[in-house]
């Protein structure tokens, strides 16, 4: 959030809405209504004095009504911009008696009750809709008693209770008596997967299963007294990378019990306020009443109420659930029917975080095609550098931050102390040092007093260091000669009631800051040239999508495919769910686009080696050598080949989903195998997936694939039975297809890994499948003509192992490539300049792979669309005269920045590649000879702080 707020190319318009849009892709004209916030974004520093003085207390929406806020407030602690807003509905100034407290207390005159708001016009090339979702209103299901019974909460409310900054500071308590509950019940699918009278929505909300599992683990962590956690569910849908493993881990928790069954009603015991849940156990068929101290309803996602108006303004359609409709033609989840308008995240339907992030980046890539090339970021004025030679001349600047600091700490005392610290030649204080006036003061004094080190004692470097550094830079003082001392967030705000002790602490902190400043060294950002071409490895759907997006942005793209033709797994499919697109058509369209483009597609080509670093990779292939600035790895995965499970290989009529896909592909009218329509086809799910021994997770695509095939078979008069562990139809429209399949008469029977179905037959034909039906307590014997195994996805071991060696991207326990961050960096790898797209990082379906292809393209573009990339100088540096080449640094660095090189004949020493080093300093702490210095956090700098504090 803060990154977006600070980015030079991003203007954040909050409290605003789009009211009109005309024009077309590439040249839209948008009208935006900026609603008044009554507090000036330019003047407000977010100091919070007005909040303290506001007399009005209203429920806090961010705390789902469980906490309070004032009428002037920040929506939540880390809100961007850090500007308050006045809720005029509750503000007293609209009453007969005018309060004006906030107006009077604000030193910056930031408050304006006459703020009319603003209407602005923008010329934009493309529009991305990322408006998210609303939470289902649980009181719409009266039989669960939400809003009626005290101790029935929603998952959103529990999230706030679990939060350390929430209304209970992270304690789980029952609203009725504020006691820690002993027994908590989670009810899944509240408002999702609806049936009957209290239906809610028909689709699956996708994230609630994982959310409940995570909350169970957290609840137990927060309150060790909890004795029992129950989850009432229909299917546990742990369908995402690492999700199944997480679910399996939760099964090991003795307190946690999963009960398959959807409660019919919940009633409250009026004496104890405990809750009694009526539920039929789907596994035993037993109907029971279960008592719980607290019930958490896992409410799903519904379309945002604002979607209807926004869709009208944008001229696009909503689907039957009022989410934004995706144009199915492209097979991509990002396109709407109107060119230049893209949708991502929950605006188009429920999504989890990593998919939303990938879609966000993907939508950016699509939008970039229509946006004019941005002007390069302003060339920084090259200032003549100040002469910093000679002993340190430190200037100390103290910020009052209104009364945030000065109201607690004794600024005069701090000034006196600072003046007496060795090498301090100038001390000054200011009401708001971060204001333009404050920054000008710092700049003037640097020049006037020939300061060569600057210390600001103010708020936190995490937010304000960049501002000061820039000011230093503007007058020619190297920005790394600036040091910030945190006397607000970590001092005056947290020791408010002990001003004298807090002042003593601030004295120490300033002393430490000055000591460190004396040891600071100027550092220079090195820029390295960037080669503006890209290597995409893998010509499947993700790779092709990435290549096309990058080419559309004018980059030179090399697309490598190991096989003889492009298309990957798409070549083996018939129809692609959810829109039932022809896989052949989709592949053909993409391949033709590639052929018509300037993408250099190389079939039957493999990578030999890749050397170099971000911006400059030298690639050697079986088809020539070239240099690129970035690499996208999209080598996909394999479909698991069953190893004799369920008679595969022994019986000729036991086949996989993929083999069935070929049969379906060849059947034109009806389904014929050897001229006959099969009588019964039985599917067995999770073959090669969800195997805890083999570390395989859920492959995610097999449930919808089976259902897609089952529908096709059923429509042609075939009897279909599906044996499953959980039906995991989490993708767009997948739950609706599942419902449709059941309506058509496809039978779904659950099995557990403890009692696997048994396939028996004679000669080479399977004839019968035996399955224990749990609820009926009966073993069923089903005569079959075909058994179809839903084989999951496994890593393409050969290619991942090879690329792992070449690119140094780590592999996870499941054998797939690891992303930079499971949630926030789904298409980035830990190696800078190397990106991941599609199944190479875990099983995905076509739509998700397309989104990831586009997302990787966006990430590549933001990296290499500039001619150069600036390297942060706060990296580690080796003094090779001290190095004895032990190689510890090489072993421990996860970024492969250090390497041993020959510095003289027969003499080796470590060397750190600045382009790869992230500056964590871990190698410096491990180096046994002290040869490695972590720049800006050197041993001397840290030692000097301790000396100032302890020896002073």
Partner 1 sequence: MARKNPSSKKKAAKEGFVPNIVAFACNWCSYAGADTAGTNRVQYSPNFRIIRTMCSGRVTPGFVLKAFKLGADGVLVSGCHFGDCHYIFGNYRAVEQFDKTKALVKTLGLDERRVRLEWISAAEGTRWGEIIDEFVAEITSLGPSPLNHKPKSKK
Specify whether the CB–CB gap between 278 and 291 falls below 8 A: no
CA atoms within 13 A on the CB side of 792: 23
Stretch that binds partner 1, among 223-231, 604-612, 762-770, 942-950 (CB under 8 A): 942-950
Choose, by CB under 8 A, the member of 110, 290, 512, 590 that binds partner 1: 512
Q: Which two tokens stand for residue 2?
A: 């803060």
Element (H, E) at 550: helix 541-552
Specify whether the CB–CB gap between 545 and 369 falls below 8 A: no
DSSP secondary structure letter of residue 473 = H
**Residue 564 contacts partner 1 per CB under 8 A:** no
Specify whether the CB–CB gap between 508 and 490 falls below 8 A: no
Stretch that binds partner 1, among 565-573, 575-583, 837-845, 938-946 (CB under 8 A): 938-946
**Residue 913 contacts partner 1 per CB under 8 A:** no
Specify whether the CB–CB gap between 50 and 105 falls below 8 A: yes
Q: What number of other Cβ atoms are within 10 A of residue 116's Cβ?
A: 8
x/- mask, partner 1, residues 854-893, rule CB under 8 A, reads --------------------x-----------------x-
**Quick check: helix, strand or coil at residue 167?**
coil
**Residue 715 contacts partner 1 per CB under 8 A:** no
Q: Rounded to whole angstroms, what are the CA distances from 681 to 462, 688, 699, 711, 786?
A: 61, 20, 22, 12, 5
Pick 220 or 728: Cβ nearer partner 1: 220
Distance of CA 400 to the CA centre of its chain: 37
DSSP string, 232-274: EES-----STTHHHHHHHHHT-TTEEEEE---SEEEE-TTT--
Closest separation in Å from C-beta 91 to partner 1? 23
Choose, by CB under 8 A, the member of 461, 522, 612, 887 that binds partner 1: 461
Kindly report the length of the chain. 952
Stretch that binds partner 1, among 341-349, 498-506, 598-606, 832-840 (CB under 8 A): 498-506
Pick 67 or 175: Cβ nearer partner 1: 67
Closest separation in Å from C-beta 491 to partner 1? 8
**Residue 690 contacts partner 1 per CB under 8 A:** no
Pick 258 or 613: Cβ nearer partner 1: 613
Closest separation in Å from C-beta 879 to partner 1? 16
Residues 760-779 that bind partner 1 (CB under 8 A): none
Closest separation in Å from C-beta 518 to partner 1? 16
**Residue 909 contacts partner 1 per CB under 8 A:** no
Contacts of 107 (CB under 8 A, 6+ apart): 49, 402, 431, 432
Pick 169 or 777: Cβ nearer partner 1: 169
Element (H, E) at 102: helix 101-105
Choose, by CB under 8 A, the member of 221, 608, 925, 929 that binds partner 1: 925
Handedness of CA 903, 906, 907, 913 (dihedral sign): positive
**For residue 266, which of 226, 286, 296, 238 has the smallest C-alpha distance?**
296
Closest separation in Å from C-beta 441 to partner 1? 25
Pick 163 or 435: Cβ nearer partner 1: 163
Phi and psi, residue 821, nearest 5° = -145, 130
Residues 152-171 that bind partner 1 (CB under 8 A): 163-165, 169-170
Choose, by CB under 8 A, the member of 92, 579, 900, 920 that binds partner 1: 920
Stretch that binds partner 1, among 152-160, 492-500, 640-648, 734-742 (CB under 8 A): 492-500
**Residue 929 contacts partner 1 per CB under 8 A:** no
Closest separation in Å from C-beta 937 to partner 1? 6
Element (H, E) at 760: strand 758-762
**Residue 253 contacts partner 1 per CB under 8 A:** no
**Quick check: helix, strand or coil at residue 68?**
strand
Closest separation in Å from C-beta 237 to partner 1? 22
**Residue 92 contacts partner 1 per CB under 8 A:** no
**Residue 174 contacts partner 1 per CB under 8 A:** no
Pick 250 or 729: Cβ nearer partner 1: 250
DSSP string, 462-498: HHHHHHHHHHHHHTT--GGGEEEEE-IIIIITTSTT-
Q: What number of other Cβ atoms are within 10 A of residue 230's Cβ?
A: 21
Strands 637-639 and 630-633: unpaired
**Residue 317 contacts partner 1 per CB under 8 A:** no
Distance of CA 454 to the CA centre of its chain: 37
**Residue 672 contacts partner 1 per CB under 8 A:** no
CA distance 454 to 445: 10
Q: Which two tokens stand for residue 116?
A: 């009319």
Q: How many residues bind partner 1 (CB under 8 A)?
A: 55
Specify whether the CB–CB gap between 704 and 792 falls below 8 A: no
Choose, by CB under 8 A, the member of 19, 27, 78, 582 that binds partner 1: 78
Choose, by CB under 8 A, the member of 260, 505, 562, 712 that binds partner 1: 505
Q: Exposed e or buried b for every residue in 178-213, given b needs 16+ CB within 10 A?
A: eebbbbbbbbbbbbbbbeeeeebbebbbbbbbbbbb
x/- mask, partner 1, residues 786-825, rule CB under 8 A, reads ------------------------x---------------
Closest separation in Å from C-beta 719 to partner 1? 47
Pick 115 or 872: Cβ nearer partner 1: 872
**For residue 604, which of 566, 551, 548, 556 has the smallest C-alpha distance?**
566
**Residue 50 contacts partner 1 per CB under 8 A:** no
Contact set with partner 1 (CB under 8 A): 77-78, 163-165, 169-170, 460-462, 486, 488-491, 493-498, 500-502, 504-505, 508-509, 512, 810, 830, 874, 892, 894-895, 918-922, 924-926, 934, 937, 939, 942-943, 945-947, 949-952
């Amino acid at each position: 959030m803060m990154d977006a707020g600070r980015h030079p190319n991003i203007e954040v318009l909050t409290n605003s809405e789009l009211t009109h849009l005309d024009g077309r892709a590439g040249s839209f004209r948008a009208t935006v209504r900026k609603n008044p916030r009554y507090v000036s974004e330019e003047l407000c520093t977010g100091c919070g004095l007005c909040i303290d003085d506001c007399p009005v207390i209203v429920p806090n929406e961010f705390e789902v009504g469980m906490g309070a806020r004032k009428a002037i407030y920040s929506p939540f602690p880390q809100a961007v911009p850090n500007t308050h807003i006045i809720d005029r509905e509750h503000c007293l100034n609209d009453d007969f008696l005018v309060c004006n407290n906030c107006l009077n207390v604000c030193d910056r005159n930031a408050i304006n009750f006459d703020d009319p708001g603003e209407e602005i016009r923008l010329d934009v090339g493309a529009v991305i809709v990322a408006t998210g979702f609303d939470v289902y209103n649980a009181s719409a299901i009266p039989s669960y008693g939400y809003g009626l019974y005290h101790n029935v909460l929603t998952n959103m409310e529990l999230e706030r209770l679990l939060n350390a900054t929430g209304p209970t500071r992270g304690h789980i308590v029952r609203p009725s008596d504020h006691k820690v509950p002993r027994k908590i019940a989670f009810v899944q699918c509240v408002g999702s997967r609806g049936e009957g009278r209290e239906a809610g929505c028909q689709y699956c909300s996708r994230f609630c299963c994982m959310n409940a599992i995570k909350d169970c683990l957290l609840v137990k962590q927060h309150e060790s007294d909890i004795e029992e956690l129950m989850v009432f569910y229909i299917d546990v849908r742990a369908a995402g990378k690492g999700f199944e493993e997480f679910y399996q881990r939760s099964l090991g928790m003795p307190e946690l019990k999963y009960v398959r069954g959807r409660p019919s009603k919940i009633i409250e015991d009026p004496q104890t306020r405990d809750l009694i849940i009526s539920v039929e156990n789907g596994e035993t068929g037993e109907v029971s009443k279960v008592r719980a101290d607290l019930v958490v309803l896992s409410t799903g996602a519904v379309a945002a109420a604002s979607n209807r108006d926004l869709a009208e303004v944008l001229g696009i359609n909503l689907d039957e659930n009022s989410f934004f409709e995706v144009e199915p033609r492209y097979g991509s989840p990002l396109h709407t029917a109107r060119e230049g308008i893209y949708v991502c995240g929950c605006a188009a339907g429920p999504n989890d975080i990593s998919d939303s992030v990938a879609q966000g980046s993907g939508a950016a890539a699509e939008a970039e095609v229509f946006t004019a090339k941005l002007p390069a970021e302003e060339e920084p004025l090259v200032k003549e550098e100040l002469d910093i030679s000679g002993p340190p001349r430190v200037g100390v600047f103290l910020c009052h931050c209104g009364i945030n600091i000065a109201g607690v700490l004794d600024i005069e005392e701090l000034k006196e102390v600072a003046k007496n610290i060795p090498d301090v030649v100038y001390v000054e204080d200011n009401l708001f040092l971060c204001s333009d006036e404050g920054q000008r003061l710092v700049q003037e004094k640097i020049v006037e007093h020939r300061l060569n080190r600057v210390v600001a004692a103010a708020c936190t470097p995490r937010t304000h260091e960049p501002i000061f550094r820039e000011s230093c830079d503007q007058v020619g003082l190297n920005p790394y000669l600036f040091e910030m001392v945190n006397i607000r967030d970590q001092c005056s705000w947290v020791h408010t009631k002990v001003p004298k002790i807090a002042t003593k602490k601030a004295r120490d902190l300033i002393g430490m800051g000055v000591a460190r400043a004396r040891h600071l060294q100027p550092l220079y950002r090195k820029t390295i040239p960037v080669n503006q071409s890209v290597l995409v490895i893998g010509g499947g759907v993700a790779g092709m999508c990435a290549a096309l997006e990058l080419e559309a942005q004018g980059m030179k793209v090399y697309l490598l495919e190991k096989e003889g033709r492009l298309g990957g797994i798409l070549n083996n499919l018939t129809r692609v769910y959810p829109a039932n697109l022809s896989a052949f058509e989709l592949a053909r369209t993409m391949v033709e686009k590639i052929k018509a483009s300037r993408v250099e597609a190389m079939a039957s080509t493999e990578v030999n080696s890749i050397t170099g670093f971000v911006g400059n990779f030298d690639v050697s292939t079986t088809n020539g050598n070239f240099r690129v600035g970035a690499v996208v790895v999209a080598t996909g995965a394999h479909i698991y080949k069953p190893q004799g499970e369920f008679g595969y290989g022994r019986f000729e009529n036991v086949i996989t989903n993929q083999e069935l896909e070929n049969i379906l592909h060849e059947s034109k009218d009806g389904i014929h195998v050897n001229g006959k329509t099969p009588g019964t086809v039985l599917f067995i799910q999770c073959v090669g997936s969800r195997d805890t021994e083999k570390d395989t997770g859920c492959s995610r695509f097999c449930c919808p694939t089976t259902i897609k095939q089952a529908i096709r078979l059923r429509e042609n008069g075939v009897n279909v039975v599906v044996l499953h562990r959980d039906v995991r139809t989490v993708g767009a429209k997948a739950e609706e297809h599942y419902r449709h399949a059941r309506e058509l008469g496809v039978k779904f029977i659950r099995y557990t890994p403890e009692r696997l179905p048994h396939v028996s037959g004679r000669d080479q034909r399977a004839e019968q499948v035996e399955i224990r039906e749990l609820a009926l307590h009966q073993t069923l014997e089903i005569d079959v003509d075909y058994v179809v195994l839903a084989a999951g996805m496994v890593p393409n071991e050969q290619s991942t192992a090879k690329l792992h060696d070449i690119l140094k991207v780590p592999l996870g326990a499941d054998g797939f490539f690891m992303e930079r961050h499971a949630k926030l960096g789904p298409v980035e790898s830990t190696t800078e300049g190397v990106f991941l797209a599609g199944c190479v990082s875990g099983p995905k379906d076509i739509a998700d792979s397309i989104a990831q292809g586009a997302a990787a393209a966006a990430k590549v573009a933001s990296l290499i669309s500039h001619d150069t990339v600036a390297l942060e100088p706060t990296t580690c540096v080796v003094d090779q005269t001290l190095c004895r080449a032990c190689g510890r640094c090489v072993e421990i660095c996860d970024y492969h920045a250090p390497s041993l090189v020959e510095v003289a004949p027969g003499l080796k020493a470590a060397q750190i590649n600045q382009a790869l080093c992230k500056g964590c300093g871990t190698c410096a702490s491990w180096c046994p000879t002290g040869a490695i210095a972590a720049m800006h956090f050197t041993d001397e700098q840290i030692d000097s702080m301790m000396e100032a504090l302890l020896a002073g």
